[in-house]
């Protein structure tokens, strides 16, 4: 390959922004110049997020990469011809999928979704996204899985294995410590090596080791003063040398600043890139600031993946994925993951011969998923109201008509927005008391939905988003008063992408179903759970605190803005984001690690979720195997309730904390039972490796499992521990010795118990 060919291969192309009718530009978005020659190359897949350069002389084709984590985001209508469409299946968002705690299900979703990616002609899906839900206000939390890296890692590995089993590649993103949207292009994350290793990198590490994704996407932010895409310690020493990553690394779109440092760091592909970067890399090779050996490595990493790609293999994609089959997978994933938070006096399941009054905008206009690159152009969305009708309920027509008219009118008067904006929420419709009074006598129960949307480019706000709006509070109060006076039940369905405040109003509801943002079949999935056709089995992979002030990062999120140096002024506004800094002074005490250790009672704890049946846990036994340095824990789960169900079983460890502070409990393994019929049992076996016991000791730059007494706790949640046993580790064990890397440049005063 010539130098010019190499520098073209390591810089991508092909990003096109399609503005909706009525939108001329995106405020603050000034994109760098593209190569006019590239712009003339016809797109393989309209609406894909980008491409690599082909080198026809050598038979190297161009790879196509598409967003995003909940379904392939491509243009559904092309060349104004609606006789042939390219709609994609909208799967449930990441937070919902993780709430299944079911790696078999995630593999199935990955395989169906991956097949769709392949049939639409794309090589690599830009997902899954697995940043940690550090703070409830994170604008992209819906795309991410959990506040916990072990759930995150295994769920990611399962879906990546599913995707890649269908012959396409993944780009796990955003590597790393990209936990907010405010100032996202330029925020410097100040974080300790221990918190990085144990919390923010761990999920990526598990996914790399268990699934070997084709690619990794570096993130926009800086870590301890350097852009992630320019950190060799992160992208080469840790990712490749320590974890054994074999694919290539690409930047997030226009992420980082210096293409030379990016190449040298091992960020192999710059996306979507432009001719200026290719030129800068060529000059750097000529003057020796990038060695030819380095550039060859970057090129080789990309070529190795191209050789595996459907495009290289000339896969004859159909543009006709099996939409019906994939819709069924989407529905199953949603049904198996929704979480029953509250169910007083067995309000649910609700017999389908009942008549129900359905309130709330999103009951008639479901939010299937979040906005931005995580959005999907889907053919349809089943609303909860439709789902109830499909399930056999008699849905009150008066409210259905009122809401449909109200929501349709409100949407018609909205101003058009671009992909980087979230549509402003429609305030809840005022309820006429006389109409309500008339409905109470003719219906058996009331169902109210509360909806939230968010997306790329902005974090969520406290008022009117984390907390309910005044209109929502009035709606809940009014319906609860009226229905409860008539001794009728009120059920609340949460159609949200991230955590909201619940504690202050939950007593108004007899039952609460957390449906998250459940994809295009969401209404049917909600109907499956409400009717009891499917017994809920999802559990929280993130904590719902009593109040925002309890969140360990409440005082540091989203950080502070830094003064803008004059030469940076021109870069201002580019995709949003000012120079800023956020310090993770809660260290490793994120989510339940904080609430459990510091005895802060949450509204609903990590790992919590109800069922229509009950389970007993019994017979925990531990065995150690000195040969492979593992221990096994066996526990039997019995369904001793009235209906069939599945149970998510969690294994936590409480470790000695003499030399290093430790969280009170840490999740180390989890499993979901099969569908257990009443009276039936299943024995689950967990394996605990000594390395699972270790903490990252910064002074020693090593993972050390401290000698002492360990408690194995098997729980139905992080608080509800039902079986426990202990074992002893006679001497300290060094699980892995690393070199000091990613070191903060300032002293972080970290939270300690
Ligand atoms: C997002 C990525 C996405 C990329 C391409 C970026 O703005 O952060 O998650 O994959 O755009 O659309």
pLDDT in tens, 164-198: 999 999 999 999 999 999 999 999 999 999 999 99
pLDDT of residue 21: 75
pLDDT in tens, 111-123: 999 999 999 999 9
List C-alpha distances in Å: 714 to 70, 459, 617, 652.
Answer: 32, 35, 8, 6
Find residue 581's DSSP bridge partners. Answer: 188, 560
pLDDT bin (cut points 50, 70, 90) of residue 737 is confident
Judge contact between 460 and 137, C-beta under 8 A. Answer: yes
Q: Does the active-site annotation cover 629?
A: no
The Å distance, Cα 371 to ligand 1 centre, comes to 12
Q: Which atom of ligand 1 is nearest to the CA of 184?
A: 8
pLDDT bin (cut points 50, 70, 90) of residue 579 is confident
The Å distance, Cα 219 to ligand 1 centre, comes to 9
Per-residue pLDDT, averaged over 154-166, amounts to 98
For residue 592 and ligand 1, the question of a CB distance below 6 A is answered with no
**Tally of CB atoms within 10 A around 337:** 31
The Å distance, Cα 247 to ligand 1 centre, comes to 19
Q: Which of 123, 233, 252, 365 is catalytic?
A: 252
For residue 67 and ligand 1, the question of a CB distance below 6 A is answered with yes
Name the strands in the sheet holding 681-689, side by side, starting at the edge strand that comes first in the sequence. 615-625, 630-639, 681-689
pLDDT of residue 568: 59
pLDDT bin (cut points 50, 70, 90) of residue 28 is low
Out of 45, 49, 176, 254, give the residue to mutate to test ligand 1, the one with the largest number of ligand atoms within 8 Å of its CB: 49
Quote the percentage of the chain above a pLDDT of 90.
91
Q: Which atom of ligand 1 is nearest to the CA of 126?
A: 10
Least confident stretch, 455-459, 493-497, 572-576: 572-576
* pLDDT for residue 639 is more than 90: yes
pTM across the whole model: 0.98
Q: Is 273 left (phi over 0), alpha (psi -120 to 50) or beta?
A: left
Per-residue pLDDT, averaged over 452-477, amounts to 97
Beta-sheet strands, E only, within 2-69: 50-51, 64-66
* pLDDT for residue 574 is more than 70: no
The Å distance, Cα 171 to ligand 1 centre, comes to 11
For residue 271 and ligand 1, the question of a CB distance below 6 A is answered with no
Per-residue pLDDT, averaged over 412-427, amounts to 87
The Å distance, Cα 174 to ligand 1 centre, comes to 9
pLDDT in tens, 462-473: 999 999 999 999
Per-residue pLDDT, averaged over 72-76, amounts to 96
Judge contact between 180 and 734, C-beta under 8 A. Answer: no
Q: Which atom of ligand 1 is nearest to the CA of 68?
A: 10
Residue closest via CA to ligand 1's atom 7 equals: 253
List C-alpha distances in Å: 630 to 151, 193, 656.
Answer: 20, 26, 18
Angle between helices 323-335 and 522-531 (to 10 degrees): 40
pLDDT of residue 33: 83
Residue closest via CA to ligand 1's atom 2 equals: 252
Cα 703 to Cα 654: distance, rounded to the nearest angstrom: 17
Per-residue pLDDT, averaged over 497-525, amounts to 98
Residues 6 or more apart in contact with residue 167 via CB below 8 angstroms: 114, 118, 310, 315
For residue 253 and ligand 1, the question of a CB distance below 6 A is answered with yes
For residue 419 and ligand 1, the question of a CB distance below 6 A is answered with no
Least confident stretch, 15-24, 220-229, 392-401, 499-508: 15-24
Tokens 């090596």 belong to 193
Per-residue pLDDT, averaged over 617-627, amounts to 92
The Å distance, Cα 601 to ligand 1 centre, comes to 36
The alpha carbon of 553 is separated from its chain's Cα centroid by a whole number of angstroms, namely 19
Q: Which of 516, 208, 581, 488 is nearest to 384 (CA)?
A: 516
């Amino acid at each position: 390959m010539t130098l010019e060919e190499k520098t073209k291969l390591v810089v991508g192309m092909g990003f096109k922004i399609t503005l909706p009718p009525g939108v001329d530009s995106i405020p603050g978005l000034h994109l760098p110049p593209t190569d006019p020659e590239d712009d003339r190359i016809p797109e393989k897949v309209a609406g894909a997020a980008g491409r690599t350069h082909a080198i026809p002389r050598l038979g190297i084709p161009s790879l196509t990469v598409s967003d995003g984590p909940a379904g392939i985001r491509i243009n559904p209508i092309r060349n104004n011809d609606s006789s042939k469409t390219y709609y994609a299946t909208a799967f449930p968002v990441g937070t919902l999928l993780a709430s299944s705690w079911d790696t078999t299900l995630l593999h199935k979703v990955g395989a169906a979704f991956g097949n769709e990616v392949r049939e639409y002609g794309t090589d690599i899906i830009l997902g899954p996204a697995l940043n940690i839900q550090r703070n409830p206000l994170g604008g992209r939390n819906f795309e991410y899985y959990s506040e916990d890296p072990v759930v995150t890692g295994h769920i990611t590995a399962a879906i990546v294995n599913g995707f890649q089993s269908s012959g396409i590649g993944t780009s796990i993103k955003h590597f790393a410590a990209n936990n907010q949207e405010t100032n996202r292009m330029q925020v410097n994350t100040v974080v300790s090596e221990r918190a990085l290793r144990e919390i923010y990198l761990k999920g990526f590490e598990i996914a790399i080791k268990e699934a070997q994704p084709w690619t990794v996407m570096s993130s926009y932010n800086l870590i301890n003063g350097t852009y992630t895409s320019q950190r060799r310690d992160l992208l080469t020493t840790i990712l490749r040398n320590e974890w054994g990553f074999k694919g290539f690394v690409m930047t997030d779109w226009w992420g980082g600043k210096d293409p030379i440092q990016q190449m040298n760091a091992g960020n192999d592909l710059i996306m979507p890139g432009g001719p200026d970067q290719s030129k800068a890399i060529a000059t750097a090779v000529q003057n020796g600031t990038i060695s030819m050996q380095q550039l060859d490595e970057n090129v080789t990493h990309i070529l190795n993946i191209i050789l595996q790609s459907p495009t290289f293999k000339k896969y004859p994609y159909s543009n006709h994925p099996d939409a019906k089959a994939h819709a069924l997978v989407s529905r199953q994933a949603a049904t198996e993951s929704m979480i029953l938070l509250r169910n007083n006096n067995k309000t649910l399941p609700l017999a389908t011969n009942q008549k129900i009054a359905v309130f709330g905008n999103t009951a008639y206009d479901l939010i299937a998923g979040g906005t931005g690159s995580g959005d999907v152009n889907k053919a349809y969305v089943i609303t909860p109201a439709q789902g109830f009708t499909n399930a056999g309920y008699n849905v009150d027509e008066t409210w259905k008509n009122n809401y449909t008219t109200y929501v349709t009118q409100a949407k018609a008067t909205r101003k058009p927005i671009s992909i980087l904006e979230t549509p402003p929420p429609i305030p809840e419709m005022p309820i006429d008391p006389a109409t309500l009074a008339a409905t109470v006598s003719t219906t058996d129960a009331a169902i109210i939905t509360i909806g939230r949307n968010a997306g790329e480019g902005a974090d969520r706000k406290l008022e009117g988003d984390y907390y309910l709006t005044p209109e929502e509070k009035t709606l809940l109060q009014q319906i609860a008063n009226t229905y409860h006076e008539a001794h009728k039940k009120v059920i609340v369905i949460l159609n949200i992408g991230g955590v909201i405040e619940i504690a202050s109003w939950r007593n108004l509801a007899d039952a609460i179903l957390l449906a998250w943002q459940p994809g295009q079949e969401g209404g049917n999935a909600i109907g499956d759970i409400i009717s009891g056709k499917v017994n809920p089995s999802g559990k929280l992979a993130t904590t719902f605190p009593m109040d925002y002030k309890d969140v360990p990062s409440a005082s540091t999120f989203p950080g502070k803005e830094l003064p803008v140096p004059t030469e940076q002024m021109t870069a201002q506004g580019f995709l949003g984001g000012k120079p800023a800094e956020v310090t993770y002074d809660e260290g490793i005490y994120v989510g339940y690690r904080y609430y459990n250790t510091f005895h802060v009672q949450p509204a609903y704890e990590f790992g919590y979720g109800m069922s229509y049946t009950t389970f007993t846990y019994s017979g925990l036994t531990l065995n150690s195997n000195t040969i492979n340095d593992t221990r096994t824990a066996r526990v039997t789960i019995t369904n001793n309730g009235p209906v069939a169900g599945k149970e998510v079983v969690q294994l936590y460890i409480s470790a000695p904390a003499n030399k290093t502070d430790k969280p009170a409990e840490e999740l180390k393994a989890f499993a979901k039972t099969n569908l257990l019929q009443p009276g039936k049992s299943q024995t689950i076996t967990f394996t605990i490796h000594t390395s699972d016991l270790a903490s990252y000791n910064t002074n020693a730059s090593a993972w050390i499992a401290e000698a002492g007494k360990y408690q194995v706790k098997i729980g139905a949640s992080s608080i509800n521990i039902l079986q426990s046993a202990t074992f002893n580790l006679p001497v300290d064990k060094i699980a892995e010795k690393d070199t000091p890397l990613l070191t903060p440049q300032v002293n972080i005063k970290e939270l300690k118990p």
